[in-house]
Amino acid sequence: MKKLFAFITIGFSIILFATSCSKGPSAPAIEGYKTYTNKATGLSLEHPANWKVTENQLRFVAFNDNSGKSRFARYDTEGFPAAKIDINLSQLDSLRTIDSVMQKTMKFTPDSYEITDVSVNGLKAKKMVYTFELTTGVFYGETYVVQVDDKNANVIQFESFDGTYDKYKEAYEKVLKSYKPGRIPTKSVDTVDQLEEQPLPSKTLIEKNGMGYSIRIPDNFAAERGPSKGVLESKNYIGTRRADCNIIVDVIDASKNKKLDKIVEDNRASYKNASPSKTSIGGKDAYSMNYSFGRDVLSRVYFVINGDKLYRITVNWFKGEEKDYLPIFEESIKSFKFN
C-alpha cells in the first residue's frame, strides 16, 4: 500500500500515556437503502438509509455516523470507525478541466494516488485510490472525477477508516450503479468547498462542562464525543458548517507525570516539531503550539495540568474563514476554567 507523505502524521496520540485496551465503537451496519434526488441539479443515487446526510445544491455528503464526522478534518489516526460518501458538483470551462478538478481534489501528495482512466455509467472519469495504515486499521479512499459534459464534472468520493471498506463496499458499488450525474444550474453559487451552507460560528457563547472544566463555545455549536482514545474523556465542540473547524478537549491521566515542560517537549514530534510558547489556561501555566497537517486547515494545541489531569485542547480552523473562526475560538480558550 502507498503511504501518504504529506498531511498525515502517524502516532498522533500522546506518547507518555498508555493507550486504552478497549476495542472502541463499532461501525454501524447498513439498514437498507433510500434514493436521494436533487431536482435542481439532477443528481441522484442510492445510499444507506441509516447514514447521516447533509446536502446543499452542489454537494451531497453521507456519514455512517455523526460521531465520525470530525475525523475527516485531519484524518486522525484514532477515533470512530468513520466512513463517508461525498459527491461534489463542479464547473468546467477552458481553464478548468477534468485534470485540474482532479488536482484540486487531491488532499495529499500526488505520489500518494494510483490513478486510472475508467468509465462511470458511460461517462469518462479518472479514478484515484489512496490507502495508508493507521494504528486502528487501514484507511481506504477512492475518488472518481467524472466528466458529465463540457461544462460539468462530478467528484464522487468514498472514504473508510479502520478497515471498514470491506463492510461498506457493497454500498459504494450501489452508489456508482445508481448514480445519475448532477449539473450546476445557471447562476448557482459555487459552494463546492463547504460541507453544507450553514451559519458561521455565533458570537454568543454558552457554557459547556466536561471532566473537571468548563468552556464557553458558540451557541450554534454542539458537544459530541471526541475522536481521541486512551484518554479519560474526549469532547468535540463543533458546528454544522464545517467539519474542519472545531475545538477538541482531551482529559488525560497525569498522575504519574506532572512535568508539563517535559510532556510538551516529548510530544513536539507529533505536531511537526512546532515551537512551544508559554501561556496560561484557567489561571494555570500552559504551553501552546501552532501547526498544520493540511494546506487549508490550521491548528493550535494547548497543554495544561490541573491536579492529576493533563488537559490537551486542540483548535482547528479553515484558513479561508480564519477571520470568522479564530477570534471566537480564542475567546473560548480564554473562558476555559477548572472546576
Q: Is residue 158 a contact partner of residue 136, using CB atoms and an 8 Å limit? A: no
Final residue of a domain: which of 178, 196, 216?
A: 178
Burial class (CB in 10 A: 0-12, 13-18, 19+), 99: exposed
For position 111, what pLDDT does the model report?
87
Q: Identify whether the C-beta of residue 316 lies closer than 8 Å to the C-beta of residue 298.
A: yes
Alpha helices in the chain (DSSP H): 71-74, 98-105, 165-178, 260-267, 322-335
Amino acid of residue 315: V
- Does 169 reside within a domain? yes
pLDDT score for 25 = 80
What is the distance between the alpha carbons of residues 78 and 21, in angstroms, rounded to a whole number? 13
For residue 122, what is the DSSP state? T
Q: Name residues of the chain where pLDDT drops below 70.
A: 1-24, 187-197
Q: Where residue 92 sits, what CATH number does that domain have?
A: 3.40.1000.10
**257 and 171 share a domain?**
no
pLDDT in tens, 207-247: 999 999 999 999 999 888 888 888 999 999 998 788 789 99
Q: How many domains is the chain built from?
A: 2
Query: Looking at residue 160, what is its pLDDT?
Result: 97
Q: Are 77 and 135 in contact (CB under 8 A)?
A: yes
Beta bridge partners of 336: none
Q: 254-265 burial, b for 16+ CB within 10 Å, e for fewer?
A: beebeebeebbe
**Based on the domain organization, do 227 and 299 belong to the same domain?**
yes
**Residue 327 and residue 223 share a domain:** yes
**37 and 174 in a common domain:** yes
pTM of the model: 0.59
Residues 156 and 235 in one domain: no
Looking at the structure, tell me whether residues 109 and 164 fall in a common domain.
yes
Amino acid 225: pLDDT: 84
Task: Kindly state whether residues 154 and 216 are assigned to the same domain.
Answer: no
Instruction: Say if residue 57 is in the same domain as residue 162.
Output: yes
C-alpha cell at position 141? 479512499
- Kindly state whether residues 324 and 215 are assigned to the same domain: yes
DSSP 8-state code for residue 97: -
Are 288 and 222 in the same domain?
yes
Q: Tell me whether residue 116 is in a domain.
A: yes
Query: Is the residue at 12 inside a domain?
Result: no
C-alpha cell at 18: 498508555
The pLDDT score that the predictor gives to residue 71 is 83
Q: Are residues 44 and 140 in the same domain?
A: yes
Write out the residue range of the structural domain in which residue 275 sits.
Answer: 205-338
